[in-house]
Amino acid sequence: MDIRAQVSMVFHLDKCIGCHTCSVACKNIWTDREGVEYQWWNNVETKPGTGYPTLWENQDEYKGGWEAEDGRLQLKLQSKIGTLGNIFYNRRLPTVNDYYEPWTYDYEHLFNAPEGDDQPTARPISLITGEFMEIESGPNWDDDLGGSPVYASNDPNVGSLTDEERTQLNEIERVMFFYLPRICNHCINPGCVAACPAGAAYKRGEDGIVLVNQDKCRAWRMCISGCPYKKVYYNWSTGKSEKCVLCFPRLESGQAPACFHSCVGRIRYLGVLLYDADRIEEVASSPESELVEAQRGIIQDPFDPEVIAAAKANGVTDGMLQAAKHSPVYKFVKEWKLALPLHPEFRTVPMLYYVPPMLPVLAKMKDGKYDVADAEVEGLKPQLTSLENARAPLAYMANLFSAGNEDIVTEVYRKLIAVRVYKRAEKVGDITQEEAQEALALGNMTAEEAEAIFRLTALPSFEERFVVPPLAREVAIEQIESPYDRKREGGFGSRTAPGRRW
């Protein structure tokens, strides 16, 4: 056993209102500099939709992540020799048009325009060329465009749906969409790190945060292609790659990352997971349908004395272990099995988990009336069968969160529905106790569990949502350099000229 600690995350999609506050918080802190205007380390996309960069999930084009051939893991992008062969020309880079061309507006013109017959306008100006431009796309261009024949219908996840399911997704009155906020997953088997020829991308030992060393980065940009989530970006001004740093300076001072802290829907949870690094390869190369189970398996019980001993032997601090015991992520992912990894088939073993959104119940215009799946006939009973009558095809959710394994998402939904039915029976009283018990049985859970899920979903305190471990970075630093030297302010870019090795 090689037990390591990972600061990991849960996003409860049912609570996301698509306000983009998280993206803006991140942009204000990290990416309002020259060269990174187009980067959104946190972005919120509408699903079904094509996301940012456009069609990032389509690995036939982008070649991100891993593939397991006869159980052997290999980067989709290229072999080690391929890396050498293609080092001066990376064939799999998104163009800036696939992100979008960042812009500002000619605000000055509003003040300086000469008097005329028309109101002056502020034309858009490219932040790359400085010229006036036509806006063609943006970081959330298909926002709320569920059902769009240009965007939603090109979503890679609808590819394997039946024709009927696909029409249903786009039909008026039956259209549905939800929001998918994305940050770097700080994967356990990161494609970005594996693809980097310069050894600049690395996973921090004490907390598993994945970073790009700005002094070592040589702009080969293989990390950008290697990451299947397209969460490493190239700074055209400094010539270095940058990515979500999980606000490590905030974490080190005990605060939640900015996007977590500012989240309006309070959908975000942060906590420590312990995992067994010896099993990474085995987990990442398991057959597709078993990937989610395997990933749950690599996460270790923080109360198990054996695990604790192994962790301590590995130098995991007591504070970290304590945080792991209170981790909301552990509950959502391992205990309740509610939160699922996004696209586990990319095989990077992402450490950001999603509770899938509840599906709106299927309703139709029937005899000129808006009919919620026979609600009139059977009272509120249809709540129980809302899974069968859900608008969004389960296959779609399975494509997103369980590598196509519908059983796994079904299980999750049964639980979510059970909690709803159970709490409704208790609080509103228009559902009978039998029905509530039936729902619990279907969800394979006890009343206590339903109560706990309800509490952590609907009424969590700030401290329950964010269990930030004491990272004790100052202690870690003391071992290699003087904290007084270190004290000066950090920042982006290279403070020192990169050292040459020849």
Question: Which residues contact another protein by CB under 8 A?
Answer: 50, 53-55, 58, 61-63, 86, 89, 91-95, 97-98, 136-137, 149-150, 153-154
SS3 333: helix
Residue 339 lies near ligand SF4 (rule: CB under 6 A): no
CB of residue 13 vs another protein: minimum separation in angstroms?
A: 25
Cα–Cα distance between 62 and 324 in angstroms, integer? 35
State yes or no: residue 182 binds ligand SF4 (CB under 6 A).
no
| Residue in the block written with tokens 């010896």 | 278
Peptide bond into 53 cis (omega under 30): yes
Residue 227 interface partner, choices ligand SF4, another protein, none, CB cut-off 5-8 Å depending on type: ligand SF4
In terms of CB distance, is 92 or 186 closer to ligand SF4? Answer: 186
Residue type, 237: S
Query: Which residue, 151 or 346, has its beta carbon nearer to ligand SF4?
Result: 346
The binder of 98, among another protein, ligand SF4, none, by C-beta within 5 to 8 A per type, is: another protein
What is the chain's alpha carbon radius of gyration, rounded to the nearest angstrom? 24
Quickly count: other Cβ atoms within 10 Å of residue 81's Cβ. 8
191 binds, among another protein, ligand SF4, none (CB under 5 to 8 A by kind): ligand SF4
Beta bridge partners of 232: 243
Binding partner at 305 among ligand SF4, another protein, none, C-beta below 5 to 8 Å by kind: none
Q: What is the DSSP string of 192-250?
A: HHHH-TTS-EEE-TTT--EEE-TTT--S--HHHHH-TT--EEEETTTTEEEE--TTHHH
- In whole angstroms, the minimum distance from the beta carbon of 462 to ligand SF4 comes to 14
Closer CB to ligand SF4, 18 or 48, in the complex: 18
| CA nearest neighbour of 236 among 137, 95, 134, 139 | 95
| Out of 3, 26, 77, 187, the residue judged to bind ligand SF4 by CB under 6 A | 187
Q: Of the two residues 74 and 153, which places its CB atom closer to another protein in the complex?
A: 153
Select the binding partner of residue 231 from ligand SF4, another protein, none (C-beta < 5 to 8 A, by kind): ligand SF4
| Interaction partner, residue 154 (another protein, ligand SF4, none; CB < 5-8 Å by kind) | another protein
Helix (H) or strand (E) holding 45: strand 43-47
β partners of residue 248:
none
For residues 257 to 296, the per-residue mask of contacts with ligand SF4, x marking binding by CB under 6 A and - elsewhere, is: ------xxx-x-----------------------------
Residue 208 touches ligand SF4, criterion: CB under 6 A: no
Q: Name residues whose C-beta falls within 8 Å of residue 89's C-beta, 6 or more positions apart in sequence.
A: none
Site for ligand SF4 (CB under 6 A): which residue of 48, 51, 146, 191? 191
- 72-75 and 66-69 strand pairing: antiparallel
- β-pair partners for 67: 74
DSSP 8-state assignment for residue 74: E
217 is a site residue for ligand SF4 (CB under 6 A): no
Torsion of CA 404, 405, 407, 409, to 10 degrees: -60
Q: Which does 433 bind (CB under 5 to 8 A by kind): another protein, ligand SF4, none?
A: none
Nearer of residues 9 and 431 to ligand SF4, judged by Cβ: 9
The verdict on 458 binding ligand SF4 (CB under 6 A) reads no
What three-state secondary structure class fits 475? helix
Q: For residues 502 and 500, what is the distance between their CA atoms, to the nearest angstrom?
A: 6
Task: List residues near ligand SF4 by CB under 6 A.
Answer: 16-22, 44, 179, 181, 184-187, 190-192, 210, 227, 229, 231-232, 243, 263-265, 267, 348
